[in-house]
A = this chain, B = another copy of it.
Amino acid sequence: MALIVHKYGGTSMGSVERIRNVARRVATWRAAGHRMVVVPSAMAGETNRLIALAREIQPQPDPRELDMICATGEQVSVGLLAMALKSIGVDAVSYSGWQVPVRTDSAYTKARIVTIDDARVRADLDAGRVVVIAGFQGVDELGNITTLGRGGSDTSAVAIAAALDAEECLIYTDVDGVYTTDPRIVPEARRLDRVTFEEMLEMASLGSKVLQIRAVEFAGKYRVKTRVLSSLTPPDIPVEIEAKSGTLITFEEDTEMEKAVISGIAFNRDESKITITRVPDRPGIASQILGAIADANIDVDMIIQNQSIEGTTDFSFTVQTNDLQRAIEVLNARVRESIGAREIIGDPKIAKVSVVGIGMRSHVGVASLMFRTLAEEGINIQMISTSEIKISVVIEDKYLELAVRALHKAFGLDRPAAGAG
């Protein structure tokens, strides 16, 4: 009689037949004796349709009104799923975000959850109902509808699981878990049975798009056991089998896990490098450069400043490739002359490769193995950045697949981890 939260994405909710399948899967878990809360996304394509409609009216849509419009996608989903459950004899009730309520701040289109009231949901669970709650949305303290940003339903599900102190939050997706790296590049990539939330955080932010990064942060903050698993298995698969499938995001650094120094190789092709050459090496220069970029609402990822040579230095950083042109324009217009730099060079032909692993903390030599492996393949490293549990390098993009395959093998990820479940 555990309390379980299921989350289903837009693809799982993409048609009447698929919604029926979701209902059958939830019914299987209900029949196994669990108290069930389900958080579905909008039907696939619906949110994009609504945004397109809004943009036709107003190219830069008013954020409050955009949230008003976009929240309807999930509202339709919860109604349909509750009906699908009832039609197979499972008592169910649907709630939109404000009905729970899921309280957020007022940052329309990217609101953050503040509190979730569990009273109404608990009363329904006590009455034996499956509770279907709209993901992606909430309500601010003035009663305005808010949304959490794209992929926000993951965050909703984890936050609801935290508020209800659920046993586990199951995120159903079209992949069957988290892999050591992208199997399209490395066929030997293995699914991880477990991954720590810190590792997941690094992998999510590095482009493994299995789970929204804020959902991972929530899982970490509130220690919600969260499992990523496939929605493509039969809906009547026995619960005791399904409960062990996919990848579990954990908080214990158990002994087995420590044996694997590195959990995965993440990568990102969507960044570009900007280098400003011959920047005078004096205080305040970095903030002048990055201040101009921030003012233009451009996100920066890696930042490197080289050793000063004869009073000037080269300053490099990476941005999303679709911000590259604009970033260069901003720098030329607002920064280059005033700081007396020589040149601004944009390079979209780069890729970022990262090795991630909680075990790195207690193991020396990860960096040297990584650099040696790349050197042996003749791959030049352009930038390096490190954190406690990851090392990222920027290389020429044509070497990306080669680098990922070489590192995957060098760190032994193609072999089952000893003792790992």
Contacts and interface: CB of A to CB of B under 8 A. Distances in A.
Most chain B CB within a 10 A radius of its CB, from A20, A83, A98: A83
B76 A94 contact: no
Give how many copies assemble into the complex: 2
Given A62-B86, A98-B98, A99-B143, A68 B79 contact: yes
Interface residues of A, number: 37
B79 A58 contact: no
Given A68-B94, A93-B64, A80 B57 contact: yes
Contacts of A68: 75, 78-79, 82, 94, 96
Contacts of A237: none
Taking chain A's interface residues, is the majority helix, strand, or loop, or is none over half, making it mixed? helix
A313 to B, nearest CB: 47
A56 B19 CA distance: 11
Most chain B CB within a 10 A radius of its CB, from A57, A94, A98, A120: A57
Contacts of A143: 99, 120
Contacts of A71: 75
A92 to B, nearest CB: 8
Nearest to A69: B79
A84 interface: yes
Nearest to A59: B87
Interface of A: 16, 19-20, 50, 53-54, 56-58, 61-62, 64-66, 68-69, 71-72, 75-76, 78-80, 82-84, 86-87, 93-94, 96, 98-99, 120, 143-145
10 contacts: A53-B80, A58-B84, A58-B87, A61-B83, A62-B82, A65-B80, A65-B82, A66-B79, A68-B94, A98-B98
